[in-house]
Copies of this chain bind each other. A is one copy, B any other.
């Protein structure tokens, strides 16, 4: 039952395409990764994801919240407090993202070398 593998990110019309962009997008991936260690407030998240603007962070978090990967918890105290955390699905995706990021960072030395070689060969 319910064994429909109808979702294919390689198809441009598949609903999974925009979700993949939310998850692997420029800021979405880093936001998910940052939340893997535990809940964070908006500005904590902003400090952790170095370089992100308020607008893009808010936008990325809204997208992830809509996809059911992140939960936004508002404490209506003063000062206002808003905590973001991962849902179970979000946590799994964040883990896979961190796995990828970890491999990428350990590969950086060889990647840097490749870039230098490439750039030297393309000094047109």
Spell out A's residues near B (CB within 8 Å).
2, 5, 7-12, 15-17, 19-21, 23-26, 29-30, 33-34, 48-51, 65-69, 89, 92-93, 96-97, 99-101, 103-115, 117-119
Contacts and interface: CB of A to CB of B under 8 A. Distances in A.
Contacts of A117: 68
B101 A100 contact: no
A96 B99 contact: yes
Contacts of A111: 19, 67-69, 89
Nearest to A65: B118
B92 A103 contact: yes
Contacts of A5: 105-106
A104 B19 contact: yes
